[in-house]
Amino acid sequence: MKFDFIPSTIYINQQAIYQNVKYFQHLHPQKKIWAVVKADAYGHGVHNVCSPALAAGANGFCVAYVDEALVLRKMGVDTLILVLGASLPESVSVAQKEGISLTAPSFDWLQKSLKYLDPNCLKRLKVHIALDTGMGRIGFTNLAELKRAINFINQHQEIFELEGLFTHFATADENDVYYQHQEAKFKELIAQINEPVKYLHCENSAAGLLEPEDNFTNTIRLGIGMYGVSPLNFSSDLATHLHPVMSLKSKISFIKKIKKGSKISYGATYTAPKDEWIATVSIGYADGWLRRLQGFKVLVDGQYCSNVGRITMDQLMIKVPRHYPIGTPVTFLGKDGTQEITATEIADYAQTIPYEIFTSFSKRLPRVAINLIN
């Protein structure tokens, strides 16, 4: 369903995506960059994100499901596409036909997949073996099992192609001892198997900002950094070069002056301390503006204003300094004049991370590309 008469819009700045990818390429001139576009490009819309990422030099994409990879193929994306999760065995023959690379999370998965693959297909299934070096999500943890998997792939070369080996960090955002331990474990496993593969990858955005000079791997899986947000939980000069990509704007839909003592919204939790102007905006928790953002700020006419009272499903109220006409823009994320509200500020207030804020914005909100590339 397409919403034409909704006053809220998510804007996606393609120039910013382009600059962020270029920036990571500048930090890692020797490496390939794969743009992570799972969950409809972290809620930004794959249609808005793929072309600027490609234009900036990304030469592959990562997604979570085979279905997401198929969306990209239908868009005409002909680069490598890697599915990061453990795909259902039922999906492997589609991946084989479409040339979609899959993650092998276990020996068992390889055996099961073999039963579903099509021996008459001219293409082999491209496989990336996941090594669990401490994330505890998917992947091989011991050397014997890993060697068994590689032998199995080599014994079935007519149907499997070992294309990559990778791991994923649990604490790259903190750059702690555990991160270094995982990295060491990855290097150790790779050295022990001594199997040449085309792609060796471990860096996410955080790791990409930590070690610009490490050339042990040859590819970066770039997610949140491409969307212009620092994943690091400490300040870093390297992260200050990122450009925010998403902004969210709505409009005042109703305005009134209320008397001192009047209450606002469900639960009547807000009582006006004096006579004041209250504007209503047609956006709510069903749009992904989380209910726990009650009391958070927005921007009207370049000034911060507070949300008052509970956020409802499709509407919320804000306190404004004076009368504004219906249709006046309200910024929830992004810049208005010299002021800005960042995804990190929203996430901190809601006690979550920018990833969850972005992916919570509902399909009801149109995504519109601006500052177009190509």
Residues at the contact surface with ligand PLP, assessed by CB under 6 A: 36, 38, 84, 168, 204-206, 221-225, 231
Q: Among residues 137 and 256, whose Cβ is nearest to ligand PLP?
A: 137
Q: Please, are residues 358 and 44 in contact by the beta-carbon 8 Å criterion? A: yes
CB neighbour burial string for 1-40, b if at least 16 within 10 angstroms, e if fewer: eeeeeebbbbbbbbbbbbbbbbbbbebbeebbbbbbbbbb
- Closer to ligand PLP by Cβ: residue 223 or 288: 223
**Chain-centre distance for alpha carbon 106:** 25
Distance of CA 65 to the CA centre of its chain: 14
Q: How far is the CB of 49 from ligand PLP (least distance, A)?
A: 13
Residue with smaller CB distance to ligand PLP, 31 or 319:
31
- Which residue number, 285 or 355, has a Cβ lying nearer to ligand PLP? 355
Tokens 């868009």 locate to 75
Place of tokens 């995982």: 182
For the record, the structure tokens of 144 come out as 């014997």
Token pair listed for 341: 């509200």
> Catalytic residues, which ones?
38, 266
- Tokens 């890993």: give the residue: 146
CA distances from 40 to 62, 188, 220 (A): 11, 35, 19
Q: Would you call 337 exposed, middle or buried from its count of C-beta atoms within 10 A (0-12, 13-18, 19+)?
A: exposed
Q: Would you say 183 or 276 has its CB closer to ligand PLP?
A: 183
Quote the tokens at residue 358. Answer: 């972005």
The distance of closest approach from Cβ of residue 353 to ligand PLP in the complex, given in angstroms and rounded to an integer, is: 10
How far from chain centre, in Å, is Cα 25?
18
- Please report how close the Cβ of residue 226 comes to ligand PLP at its closest, in angstroms: 8
Smallest distance, Å, CB 356 to ligand PLP?
12
Beta carbon of residue 204, minimum distance to ligand PLP (angstroms, whole number): 4
Q: Is the dihedral of CA 343, 346, 348, 353 positive or negative?
A: negative
CA distance 1 to 121: 37
The number of residues making up the chain comes to 374
Which one, 221 or 310, has the nearer CB to ligand PLP? Answer: 221
Nearer to ligand PLP, 132 or 287 (CB): 132
Smallest gap from residue 166 Cβ to ligand PLP (A): 7
**Rounded CA separation 154/77 (Å):** 29
Structure tokens at 113: 């997949």
Helix, strand, coil distribution of the chain in percent, nearest 5: 35, 25, 40
Q: Is the distance from CB of 116 to CB of 93 less than 8 angstroms? A: yes
Q: Is 154 left (phi over 0), alpha (psi -120 to 50) or beta?
A: alpha
Closest separation between CB of residue 198 and ligand PLP, Å? 17
